[in-house]
Amino acid sequence: MSGLGGLNKTTGGIVIAAVQSQLFHVATPEDLSKATKHVCDLVRQAKRANPVTDLVLFPEYSIHGLTMDMNPVIMCTMDGPEIAAFKQVCKEENVWGIFSIMEKNKLGNPWNVGVTINSSGEVVDYYRKMHPWIPVEPWYPGNQGISVFTGPGGVKMSLIICHDGMFPEMAREAAYLGAEVMFRTAGYTPPIKQGWEITNRSNAFTNLMYTVSVALAGTDGTWRSMGQAMFVDPEGNVLVQGDNIPDQIVTCEVRAEEVRRRRREWGVENNLFQLGHRGYVAVKGGAGDCPYKYMRDLMKGQYAQAEDKEVHVRDGTVCGFPKPKDAFVDEIS
């Protein structure tokens, strides 16, 4: 149930607006400023359209476009004017917001970052994209892992970005850490539409959580993004879905108790619990081992699929990026 797209807010529910914001070509500081103003205006529009909205979600690349331009003059900082504008509009409108920036990085290529700001204008979550869409994207891979934060209404939330959602491990990690709603922002173009829907639905069902996802929409004259905002319930049912209309605001109510009840009470298909308790009908407490070789190999730095030596594309040169020279710096370890 979506509460008629969030028009009927119930006790314990929160209303989320996913904005299919217009794709822009951004090459100059002036372009960046205009795109930032556009996003802020859409926050105001979302609250005018539905005053009970608790959180407004924007796609990846909302203010940067899809050129993959790493020019320092259009890269953001956390103390820069773009974040300041997002903080101000959230405070003015008394609403939470999730925004996208490409951030300067002293380690090398910029970070692809998602920033969550509460209704008091404070940053409550900062996430660096873990899986850039290689070989197309040049961003430095996130080195802080996945975070879970408490959002409006006390709901546990997590944010992943675009290609992250194609890895089931990402959704499982978010759920394992307690996320009841997982957001996914993207700049995807229409060829990814089917994979987008499949993974949004499977990530919800296999982890008994809501997934709320949105991509850019429209064209910048070269690229065309797909929009396709999507709300999926803990059983994998699509509650509300957008199309490809630029700046369309798609709203839905989500109820965290629907997640909590299933995770507490389900036996069959309570897969988040059962992953670590294999065969508990036959074995006391279930098997708590790690039976997956790819996990063990990844931990040892020895990940190699069966066809590893046959993989053709192993860097970004096919998309015009130079071969990297620096090793990954992992802040987790």
Which of 40, 47, 60, 180 is an active site residue? Answer: 60
Rounded mean pLDDT of 320-329?
94
Q: Confidence class of residue 332 from pLDDT cuts 50, 70 and 90?
A: low
One-letter identity of residue 150:
T
Which of 40, 87, 93, 129 is an active site residue? Answer: 129
Q: Which residues pair with 278 in a beta bridge?
A: 287
pLDDT digits (tens, 9 = 90+) for 182-191: 999 999 999 9
Check if 37 is active-site.
no
> How many Å apart are CA 112 and CA 106, to the nearest integer?
14
Residue-range domain boundaries for the chain: 3-274
Q: Confidence class of residue 124 from pLDDT cuts 50, 70 and 90?
A: very high
Check if 60 is active-site.
yes
Question: Which CATH fold topology does 3-274 show?
Answer: Nitrilase/N-carbamoyl-D-aminoacid amidohydrolase (3.60.110)
pLDDT digits (tens, 9 = 90+) for 260-309: 999 999 999 999 999 999 999 999 999 999 999 999 999 999 999 999 99
Share of the chain above pLDDT 70, in %: 99
pLDDT digits (tens, 9 = 90+) for 49-92: 999 999 999 999 999 999 999 999 999 999 999 999 999 999 99
185, 214 Cβ separation under 8 angstroms? yes
Specify the pLDDT at position 303. Answer: 97
> How many Å apart are CA 316 and CA 275, to the nearest integer?
35
115, 99 Cβ separation under 8 angstroms? yes
Q: Mean pLDDT score of the chain, rounded to an integer?
A: 97
Host H or E run for residue 260 = helix 256-265
Residue 203 clears pLDDT 60, i.e. is over it: yes
Specify the pLDDT at position 5. Answer: 80
Tell which residue, 112, 104, 42, has the closest CA to residue 79: 104
Specify the pLDDT at position 321. Answer: 95
Check if 87 is active-site.
no
Which of 40, 76, 90, 162 is an active site residue? Answer: 162
Specify the pLDDT at position 1. Answer: 63
Q: Confidence class of residue 2 from pLDDT cuts 50, 70 and 90?
A: confident
One-letter identity of residue 305:
Q
Specify the pLDDT at position 331. Answer: 77
